[in-house]
Structure 1
Amino acid sequence: MRFLVLHAHPDPDSYSAALHAAVVGALAAAGHAVDDCDLHAEHFDPVLSRDERRAYHDLAQNRLPVADYVRRLEAAEGLVLVYPVWNFGFPAILKGFLDRVFLPGVSFRIENGLVRPNLRRITRLAAVTTYGAPRWRACLMGDPPRKCITRVLRALAASQARTRYLAHYDMNRSTPATREAFLRDVRHCMEHF
């Protein structure tokens, strides 16, 4: 399979970077083709411009500013997002990627006023993430990142897409042992994904 891996953390020495490396390494070791997209390393601009917003529903124009990223997304059969949860949401660069690349005619179509999924090539969808807070606090806040992955993005993919949400909660009180155990879980999941 061909996987697009989106990584959204500015520090190449972070735990998120270690998770990213584990994901890419495990997928490659399992024989998958990996398109590794480190949004910070690629200097992705997350800001949706006024012109882009105005052309949002123009299927002939909307993808032009992000054409290479659209091509990479459309070529993918699997999608893995690796990011930290900050303020109970996605990092701005990842949110901006979703706003600018998951466009009408790309990730969805609008037919008779209804949204229809358009990423039917995606048969594997996963998120690998960390939260500073414990899970109960994320649940109390509604856990928007989990819902976005397991409901919104999942609905855009193939109808039987395998979906995984791997989260290390309570990073503020994590230990080397808990972080290493989560890395092992991530590697195992990606090797068998």
Structure 2
Amino acid sequence: MHALIVVAHPDPKSLSHGIAAQIAEGVTLAGHTFEIADIAAEGFDPRYTATDLAVHRREVAPAADVAAEQARIDGADTLVLVYPVYWWSMPALLKGWIDRVFANGWAYDEGTGIKPVKRLRHLKVHLVAIGGATTRTYARHGYFGAMKTQIDHGIFDYVGAPVATSELMLDTETQGPAEHLEAALAIGCSLFEARHSQDEAA
């Protein structure tokens, strides 16, 4: 099986990139394949333009860069998003990637005279968010619930893609990277086990 690992961080030496690499290593150890989409290094343009709006209105086909990202997702069994928490959310780069790539007519169908359809039911999603604050801080302010509402439900439930796992790796500013990198390797090794257990439960 094949995993598309999307990492959104401008520094290739960041913990985000290290975690993405460890997840990829775990996928390989489990006998599967992966692709890492470094959307910062690749120069993906996250700006939602008039053309993207026209795509939403089903007036034009997606731009070439968007179509290329959709093709990468179409070739994957599982989508993994690895990103730092910026201002209690995902980076604008990743949000813009979702805004443009998860378009009407591909990720879902809606519009006048169109019965709404969630088109990504086949795609399992794994979220790995990396934050500097403590678990206590996140819990006190209700961030765990907010993350599930905004991302798990607000994005992926809308297109029908079930979130198999949702991880928050915290205390990254006070702890060394070893524990988080070890956890990332374990995530990679069990990535498709989570898929299989969910499929069996369904």
TM-score where L is the length of structure 2: 0.81
Aligned partner of 1:187 in structure 2 is 185
Residue 101 (structure 1) aligned with residue 67 (structure 2): no
Contact 2:66 2:101 in 1 (8 A): yes
Change (3 A) 1:59 1:107: farther
Superposition pairs of residues 168-183 of structure 1, within 5 angstroms: 168-172=169-173, 174-176=174-176, 179-183=177-181
Aligned partner of 2:85 in structure 1 is 85
Q: In the alignment, residue 118 of structure 1 is paired with which amino acid?
A: R
Superposition pairs of residues 120-135 of structure 1, within 5 angstroms: 120-122=121-123, 124-135=124-135
Structure 1 stretch displaced more, 69-78 or 7-16:
69-78
Change (3 A) 1:57 1:64: farther
Whole-Å Cα distance in 1 between the matches of residues 4 and 59 of structure 2?
23
Q: What SS does structure 2 have at the residue aligned with 1:171?
A: coil
Aligned partner of 2:71 in structure 1 is 71
Q: What SS does structure 1 have at the residue aligned with 2:105?
A: coil
Task: Among all aligned residue pairs of Structure 1 and Structure 2, give the percentage whose two residues are the same amino acid.
Answer: 26
Deviation at 1:59, TM superposition (A): 6.5
Structure 1 stretch displaced more, 68-77 or 90-99:
68-77
Q: CA RMSD for the aligned pairs?
A: 2.3
Change (3 A) 1:153 1:33: farther
Whole-Å Cα distance in 1 between the matches of residues 23 and 155 of structure 2?
19
Structure 1 stretch displaced more, 56-65 or 124-133:
56-65
* Number of aligned residue pairs: 187
Superposition pairs of residues 1-193 of structure 1, within 5 angstroms: 1-58=1-58, 60-62=60-62, 64-110=64-110, 115-122=116-123, 124-139=124-139, 140=141, 142-143=143-144, 144-155=146-157, 156-157=159-160, 161=162, 163-172=164-173, 174-176=174-176, 179-193=177-191
TM-score where L is the length of structure 1: 0.84
Whole-Å Cα distance in 2 between the matches of residues 162 and 55 of structure 1?
26
Q: In the alignment, residue 83 of structure 1 is paired with which amino acid?
A: Y
Contact 2:27 2:34 in 1 (8 A): yes
Whole-Å Cα distance in 2 between the matches of residues 147 and 8 of structure 1?
21
Whole-Å Cα distance in 1 between the matches of residues 2 and 14 of structure 2?
26
